Structure 1
Amino acid sequence: MAKRYYPLDANTLFGEDVTMTATGNVQKGGVDAVFKIGKGRQDMSLVVDISAYDATTGDEGYTFLLQGSNAEDFSDDIENLAALEIGPAAVRTGGARTSPIGRYGIPVSNDLIDEFTYVRLRLIAAGTTPSITFTAWLSERP
């Protein structure tokens, strides 16, 4: 995996050392971490540092979705702006290799069909005993 530097701005930190065991939105302080990035095209990187994940039974899979919306509460116009699949090769649709632990940087823009004002990070967890620990943020593109 390439070792790139992605500046961390606390204002775009979805969560640090978060452990999730079920599908849901990444939260800070018990509420969904939603960032207002404004109108106009914003090019950035979604950075996800995976420190651990369970693949014990071989059927656990994890998909991170960076979602955009024009409603702060995501009640309307939700679009998936980026996706990252993590897990063993047997459950990944994206390829025939098991995902290593480490840093993933995904180029992303809020300009997809529309220029979305708000973003959030959602995890889709699947399998017998899903559990994943990560830190995630939006960064300037290197």
Structure 2
Amino acid sequence: MGSKFYNFDAEFLFKDSYAVTASAAAQVASAAKIIDVGAARVDATMVVDVSAIDISSSDEAYKIVVQGSTSPTFASNIENLAVLDLGKSAARLAGAKDSVAGRYELFFTNQQADVTYPYLRVYTVCAGTTPSITYTAFGAPDASI
């Protein structure tokens, strides 16, 4: 999957493989996954491996969002750090093509507008008649750090 190799560290697994059919925060082993990366700026790639995506009703759309927060429970101060837009072309931006299974790379930093967000998670937004997407997501720090 993909031509670039990313080191996998289980500590940075944000979502394990299960079908998402409604908008929700990602889980690992059926528990919400929030990772504390500390107070420093982190530049990284969220590696998203999509194994199944339903676009059969022609109106399914998905947003896989890397979110940061200053709250360890994500109770407040949530910032969208990066968004991956997937789904049926008709349900997405004009000119977009239908999404398919495969590897997607989402580059992000946990620092926005001079605020550093030490807590990170992945959130999936689902829309359409029969939304269902199965994927895994893990973070890989930028090798240049």
TM-score using structure 1 length = 0.93
**Count of residues in Structure 1 that have an aligned counterpart in Structure 2:** 142
Against the structure 1 CA distance between its residues 6 and 59, is the aligned structure 2 distance closer, same or farther, given a 3 Å change threshold?
Answer: same
Q: Aligned partner of 2:129: which letter?
A: T
Matched residues in 2 for 1:7 and 1:125: separation?
Answer: 29
Are the counterparts in 1 of residues 15 and 122 from structure 2 also a CA contact under 8 Å? no
2:14 match: 14
Aligned pairs for 1:1-142 (under 5 A) are 2-93=2-93, 95-113=95-113, 114-141=115-142
2:128 partner amino acid: G
Identity, in percent, stands at 37
What's the CA shift for 1:88?
A: 1.4
The verdict on how the C-alpha distance between 1:108 and 1:95 changes in structure 2, with shifts beyond 3 A counting, is: farther
One-letter identity of the residue aligned with 1:53: I
Contact 1:6 1:141 in 2 (8 A): no
Q: Tell me the secondary structure at the aligned position of residue 11 of structure 1.
A: helix
- Secondary structure (helix, strand or coil) at the match of 1:90 reads helix
Aligned partners of 1:92 and 1:37: how far apart in 2?
A: 32
The superposition leaves residues 63-114 of structure 1 with CA deviations (integer Å, 9 ceiling, x where unpaired) of: 0111000110011111000000111111112742112211011111001121
Q: Secondary structure at the match of 2:47?
A: strand
Q: Which moved more, 1:32-41 or 1:11-20?
A: 11-20
- 1:2 Cα deviation after fit: 4.9
SS class of match (2:91) = coil
In 2, Cα distance between the equivalents of 1:70 and 1:130?
31
The amino acid that maps onto 2:48 is V
Q: Provide structure 2 residue ranges, at least 5 long, that are not aligned to the other structure.
A: none
The residue type equivalent to 2:98 in the other structure is T
Deviation beyond 6 Å, 4+ runs, structure 1:
none
Gap runs ≥5 in structure 1 = none
